[in-house]
């Protein structure tokens, strides 16, 4: 069965994909609007950047309890209220003038976004298996990449009207919550007290090494994505080639093309290699792309390097979600995937400051070169280890 046919036959799949598009709005839609927010509220650049940090930080701490709640009380009772909170808190910023209150609303919205990102992938794992699960997780990752590429262009355009207009888009969370309440399934599982507890899973005979390896990979993926691709590369393109913001935005959309093309082939990739080999290959391709961007003096070749970024992400990111879903018992899937989202948020939070602070000492080309060599070495070592 194709992904398109699954969407036609199951409205729940469409709601899951729409929820993914909602969750990814939080950072990418607002980033280009930060200068407009700064000017309108009369705050500094560092204060304006707190609109992003306030969104990502709560997810590091709160995602795991939310994932455990999804295992205990159900997926829908967590996802639907999270969509409503996301929409109400995000859209409510339009009516608030106090910057501390705006940050408080962003923090609640960020926690809701983390819950959405966790439960959407968890629901795919609950509701499907085999090749269809792999196809849908790949399609979900491709949708996420499309949103990450398109939202900066949309947010930047809307911010030229007024700084508040991008925040109105967060009302989409409310729109998606309504059909979600009606069509989302609640997977059959053991009740909270009927099966073994999460502690029994952690201390039982199941090896936790694969989970630790996958979480490490997820951290690396999102440090690279938010630190190298979305922070270091724009500064490098500006300083080396004098590109405009619009031109930089177009180039930053190139990785989404590679990522989307690769992520939709997840089931075919896993028919030819193991999950861990695919992720290792993704890091190797990441490395080649980063080294290419770091060493070239051509903006065209830089675009080719960024395309490799996308291919690397397509081989790595959706496969980690697939592997976690296939490894995890149904009754613990929400908790395990919540740790994944928490690690993801950690990567998105530490990646940008890690790159910018280090670049003050050595430069952005050197950051990308060192990161590319490390990612490539990690991929090669992991490929060799996975063969054994």
Residue 194: HSE in the Cβ half-sphere, 13 Å Cα cutoff: 8
377/299 same-domain check:
yes
CATH number, domain at 72? 1.20.1250.20
182/233 same-domain check:
no
Q: Is residue 200 part of a domain?
A: no
Residue 162: domain span: 1-186
179/231 same-domain check:
no
125/270 same-domain check:
no
CA distance 191 to 193: 6
Q: How many domains does the chain have?
A: 2
330/379 same-domain check:
yes
Per-residue pLDDT of the chain (388 residues; tens, 9 = 90+): 555 555 556 788 899 999 999 998 988 888 778 878 888 888 886 788 788 888 988 888 888 888 888 888 888 899 999 999 999 999 999 999 899 999 999 999 999 998 998 889 888 888 888 778 888 888 888 888 788 778 877 888 888 888 899 999 999 999 999 999 888 877 665 543 334 555 666 776 777 888 998 999 999 998 988 888 877 888 888 888 887 766 777 787 788 888 888 887 887 888 888 888 999 999 999 999 999 999 999 999 999 999 998 899 889 988 998 888 888 887 778 888 888 888 988 988 888 888 878 888 898 899 999 999 999 999 999 888 876 6
282/382 same-domain check:
yes
Q: Is residue 379 part of a domain?
A: yes
Is the overall model pTM greater than 0.85, yes or no?
no
- Provide CB contacts within 8 A for 256, sequence distance 6+: 145, 146, 148, 149, 150, 310
CA distance 128 to 360: 47
249/365 same-domain check:
yes
137/280 same-domain check:
no
Q: No. of H helices and E strands in the chain? A: 20, 0
127/217 same-domain check:
no
């Amino acid at each position: 069965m194709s992904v398109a046919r699954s969407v036609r036959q199951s409205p729940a799949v469409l709601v899951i994909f729409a929820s993914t598009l909602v969750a990814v709005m939080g950072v990418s839609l607002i980033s280009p609007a930060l200068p407009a927010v700064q000017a309108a509220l009369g705050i500094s650049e560092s204060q304006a950047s707190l609109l992003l940090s306030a969104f990502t930080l709560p997810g590091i701490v709160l995602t795991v309890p939310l994932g455990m709640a999804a295992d205990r009380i159900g997926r829908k009772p967590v996802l639907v209220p999270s969509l409503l909170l996301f929409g109400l808190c995000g859209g409510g910023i339009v009516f608030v003038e106090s910057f501390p209150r705006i940050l408080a609303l962003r923090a609640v919205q960020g926690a809701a976004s983390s819950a959405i990102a966790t439960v959407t992938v968890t629901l795919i794992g609950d509701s499907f298996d085999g090749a269809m699960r792999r196809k849908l997780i790949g399609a979900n990752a491709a949708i996420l990449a499309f949103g990450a590429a398109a939202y900066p262009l949309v947010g930047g355009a809307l911010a030229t009207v007024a700084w508040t207009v991008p925040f109105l888009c967060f009302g989409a969370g409310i729109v998606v919550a309504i059909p979600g309440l009606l069509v989302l399934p609640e997977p059959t599982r053991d009740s909270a007290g009927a099966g073994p507890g999460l502690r029994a899973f952690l201390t039982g005979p199941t090896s936790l090494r694969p989970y630790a390896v996958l979480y490490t990979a997820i951290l690396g993926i999102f440090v690279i994505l938010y630190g190298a691709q979305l922070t270091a590369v724009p500064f490098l393109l500006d300083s080396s080639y004098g590109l405009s913001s619009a031109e930089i935005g177009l180039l930053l959309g190139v990785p989404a093309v590679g990522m989307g093309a690769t992520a939709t082939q997840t089931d075919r990739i896993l028919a030819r290699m193991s999950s861990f080999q695919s992720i290792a290959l993704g890091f190797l391709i990441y490395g080649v792309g980063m080294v290419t961007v770091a060493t070239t003096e051509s903006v065209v070749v830089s675009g080719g390097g960024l395309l490799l970024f996308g291919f690397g992400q397509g081989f790595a990111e959706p496969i980690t979600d697939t592997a976690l879903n296939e490894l995890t018992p149904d009754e613990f899937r929400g908790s395990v995937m919540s740790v994944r989202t928490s690690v993801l948020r950690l990567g998105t939070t530490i990646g940008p400051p890690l790159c910018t602070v280090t670049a003050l000492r050595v430069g952005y080309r050197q950051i990308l070169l060192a990161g590319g060599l490390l990612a490539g070495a990690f991929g090669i070592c992991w490929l060799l280890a996975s063969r054994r």
